[in-house]
């Protein structure tokens, strides 16, 4: 058997390699740089690495060659690394989104003013809660600076995930993005039992779901005889003999991916993990994981199983409807801000799935209509800033015991800190889809594509879910601006702590981006449109 040297397209892949390189460099920094200088070194290294990768993504994105032939849609890009990676318009768009919100995540990770000079991460994760060792770690002002390399590895996995063009690469990317997140969830400085429990739950359920994903990989490989999406697509078109293998395999792959995006019935981990994890991690994870996982979900179902959509669309119809309704109904009964935002993110998964059910082929569209790929990409661009911004504001609202996410403590916050409460209200309105915010245009885009594909039952459910979600978002706004803190019950109300520039800049950018996407959505919609479709 001959082995030939593989070619790696470094010109297209270098932004991703920069991220992985910086992550490895971060590990070395951890080993060799003295403790007092690590914080600055690691944070600066992470921000610079992500910024370079972001610039690189823009550069690679403008440089993509248009592919002629195959199909009707315009597609730009190149298969890289012997066809295992597809660097095309949508994947570069997702790279840029993930990198932007990861920079926001690093800034939130690096915030030290809120905890009076230390970060929100455990001083020493190995020290048991309530012991002498923990007190010593906290009096010495220790910090876990390993969180920055962990974040970088997760970001690298998130860039690899939507780019993967075969099942094995997709599985490896899934694990590379998940494993650091499991650890990050367990590293909170305060409420450590909750944080550790969140990590345990996320890990066990995540490992369980990736077991399903892997068995799906094996079955699809058995069906198609190849892991590459183009070959699988070919086999789906031509081979009708083994449809049981195909259907079971497709279902199992869907379990793994739908778990990552938090769709019903795989949403159970979402509220627990979002609540227990350090809020900076929640902000990063909620935005970036969803963006990356939707990229992968779209590529898997459009490229590999595009020819078999009459089999998977009914399944996704039901899942989308259930996800929206369960997410918004359960959000109504929450009394904890982080948990409510978690259920609202489940509902947003449902809206994104609605977009996924739209028209895929550009030829089937009218002049001003967009494909569902573009609608989903735009929705992700509006969902990200709203999510990062809201969780960043949750880190500011504190009482003597640290963050105070309980609703009772938020009463009357608007009178005490109108600026923070106003920003929070604005971002919630965007999530609810009120005009002049990014969320409105995003919702309009996904509903429109689903309608043009005839998925009207899903759109009706989506509108119902939107109405329910307006109720619980507005309730929080009323609570902040029109409720008085209940002094008789002895509830100490929370106050907004002034953060350093890191958090306030993140929040300001998120609010500005949400406003911009709502008032002038054209440029970003065009950008999503120019991304074209997936290459095969």
Partner 1 sequence: MDSVTPFIVLSAILFTIGAVGVLTRRNAIVVFMCVELMLNASNLALVAFAKQHGNLDGQIAAFFVMVVAAAEVVVGLAIIMTIFRTRRSASVDDASLLKY
User: Shortest gap between Cβ of 396 and partner 1 (angstroms)?
Assistant: 22
Check if the beta carbon of residue 336 is closer than 8 Å to that of residue 254. Answer: no
Q: How far apart are CA 517 and CA 524, in angstroms?
A: 7
Q: How far apart are CA 480 and CA 484, in angstroms?
A: 9
Of 58 and 245, nearer to partner 1 (C-beta) is 245
Of 378 and 407, nearer to partner 1 (C-beta) is 407
Q: How far apart are CA 356 and CA 294, in angstroms?
A: 9
Place of tokens 């923990």: 134
Angle among Cα 93, 94, 100 to the nearest 5 degrees reads: 95
User: Shortest gap between Cβ of 8 and partner 1 (angstroms)?
Assistant: 17
Tokens read off for 523: 């440029």
DSSP string, 233-277: HHHHHH--TTHHHHHHHHHHHHHHHHHHHT-TTS-THHHHHHHHS
Check if the beta carbon of residue 534 is closer than 8 Å to that of residue 75. Answer: yes
Of 111 and 272, nearer to partner 1 (C-beta) is 272
Which ranges of 110-166 does DSSP label H, i.e. alpha helix?
A: 132-139, 147-163
- Bridge-based pairing of strands 495-496 and 397-399 is antiparallel
Give burial (CB, 10 Å; 0-12/13-18/19+) of 168. Answer: middle
Of 51 and 194, nearer to partner 1 (C-beta) is 194
Of 271 and 439, nearer to partner 1 (C-beta) is 271
User: Shortest gap between Cβ of 336 and partner 1 (angstroms)?
Assistant: 9
The torsion of the CA quartet 43, 22, 158, 188, rounded to 10 degrees, works out to -40
Check if the beta carbon of residue 148 is closer than 8 Å to that of residue 45. Answer: yes
User: Shortest gap between Cβ of 270 and partner 1 (angstroms)?
Assistant: 11
Check if the beta carbon of residue 45 is closer than 8 Å to that of residue 52. Answer: no
Of 201 and 416, nearer to partner 1 (C-beta) is 201
Check if the beta carbon of residue 347 is closer than 8 Å to that of residue 323. Answer: yes
The DSSP bridge partners found for residue 77 are: 88
Chain residues in the site for partner 1 (CB under 8 A): 125-126, 128-129, 168, 171-172, 175, 179, 182-183, 186, 192-194, 196-201, 203-204, 207-208, 211-212, 214-215, 217-219, 221-222, 225-227, 271-272, 275-276, 339
Of 273 and 386, nearer to partner 1 (C-beta) is 273
Q: How far apart are CA 67 and CA 80, in angstroms?
A: 14
Of 128 and 501, nearer to partner 1 (C-beta) is 128
- Which of 338, 219, 326 has its CA nearest to residue 266? 326
Dihedral pair phi/psi, residue 399, rounded to 5°: -130, -160
Of 173 and 462, nearer to partner 1 (C-beta) is 173
Per the rule left: phi > 0, alpha: psi between -120 and 50, beta: everything else, 130 is left
User: Shortest gap between Cβ of 169 and partner 1 (angstroms)?
Assistant: 9
Of 241 and 363, nearer to partner 1 (C-beta) is 241
Instruction: Give the count of beta carbons closer than 10 Å to the beta carbon of residue 493.
Output: 18
Q: How far apart are CA 268 and CA 204, in angstroms?
A: 12
User: Shortest gap between Cβ of 232 and partner 1 (angstroms)?
Assistant: 12
User: Shortest gap between Cβ of 351 and partner 1 (angstroms)?
Assistant: 24
Of 85 and 462, nearer to partner 1 (C-beta) is 85
Q: How far apart are CA 63 and CA 69, in angstroms?
A: 19
User: Shortest gap between Cβ of 126 and partner 1 (angstroms)?
Assistant: 7
Of 252 and 280, nearer to partner 1 (C-beta) is 252
User: Shortest gap between Cβ of 199 and partner 1 (angstroms)?
Assistant: 5
Which ranges of 33-112 does DSSP label H, i.e. alpha helix?
A: 35-62, 89-109
Instruction: Give the count of beta carbons closer than 10 Å to the beta carbon of residue 141.
Output: 14
């Amino acid at each position: 058997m001959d082995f030939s040297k593989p070619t790696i397209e470094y010109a297209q892949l270098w932004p991703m390699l920069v991220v992985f390189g910086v992550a490895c460099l971060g590990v070395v920094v951890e080993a060799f740089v003295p403790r007092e200088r690590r914080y600055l070194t690691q944070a600066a290294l992470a921000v610079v690495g992500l910024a370079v990768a972001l610039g690189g993504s823009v550069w690679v994105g403008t440089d993509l060659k248009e592919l002629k032939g195959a199909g009707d849609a315009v597609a730009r890009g190149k298969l890289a690394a012997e066809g295992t990676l597809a660097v095309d318009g949508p994947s570069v768009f997702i790279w840029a989104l993930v990198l932007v919100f990861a920079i926001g995540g690093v800034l939130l990770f690096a915030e030290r003013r809120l905890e009076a000079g230390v970060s929100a991460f455990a001083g020493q994760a190995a020290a048991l809660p309530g012991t002498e060792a923990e007190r010593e770690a906290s009096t010495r002002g220790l910090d876990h600076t390993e969180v920055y390399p962990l974040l970088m590895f997760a970001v690298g996995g998130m860039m690899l995930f939507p780019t993967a063009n075969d099942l094995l690469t997709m599985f490896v990317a899934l694990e590379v993005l998940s494993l650091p997140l499991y650890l990050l969830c367990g590293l909170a400085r305060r409420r450590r039992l909750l944080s550790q429990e969140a990590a345990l739950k996320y890990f066990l359920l995540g490992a369980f779901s990736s077991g399903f994903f892997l068995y799906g990989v094996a079955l699809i490989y058995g069906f198609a005889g190849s892991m590459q999406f183009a070959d699988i697509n070919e086999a789906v078109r031509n081979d009708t003999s083994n449809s049981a293998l195909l259907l079971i395999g497709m279902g199992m792959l869907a379990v793994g991916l739908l778990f990552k995006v938090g769709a019903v019935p795989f949403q159970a981990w979402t509220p627990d993990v979002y609540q227990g994890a350090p809020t900076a991690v929640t902000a990063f994870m909620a935005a970036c994981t969803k963006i990356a996982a939707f990229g992968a979900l779209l590529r898997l179902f459009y490229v590999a199983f595009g020819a078999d959509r009459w089999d998977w669309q009914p399944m996704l119809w039901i899942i989308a409807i259930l996800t929206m309704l369960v997410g918004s109904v359960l959000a109504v009964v929450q009394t904890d801000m982080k948990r409510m935002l978690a259920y609202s993110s489940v509902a947003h998964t449902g809206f994104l799935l609605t977009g996924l059910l739209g028209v895929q082929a550009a030829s089937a569209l009218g002049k001003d209509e967009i494909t569902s790929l573009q609608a989903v990409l735009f929705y992700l661009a509006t969902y990200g800033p709203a999510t990062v911004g809201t969780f960043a504001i949750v880190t500011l609202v504190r009482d003597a015991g640290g963050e105070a996410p309980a609703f009772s403590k938020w009463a009357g916050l608007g009178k005490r800190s109108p600026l923070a409460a106003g920003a929070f209200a604005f971002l919630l309105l965007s999530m609810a889809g009120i005009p002049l915010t990014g969320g409105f245009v995003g919702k309009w885009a996904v509903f429109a594509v689903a309608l043009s594909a005839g998925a009207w039952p899903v759109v009706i459910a989506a509108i119902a879910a939107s109405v329910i979600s307006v109720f619980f978002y507005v309730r929080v706004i009323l609570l902040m601006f029109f409720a008085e803190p209940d002094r008789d019950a002895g509830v100490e109300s929370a106050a907004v702590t002034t953060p350093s520039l890191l958090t306030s800049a993140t929040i300001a950018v998120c609010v500005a981006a949400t406003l911009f996407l709502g008032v002038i959505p054209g440029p970003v919609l065009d950008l999503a449109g120019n991304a074209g479709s997936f290459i095969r």
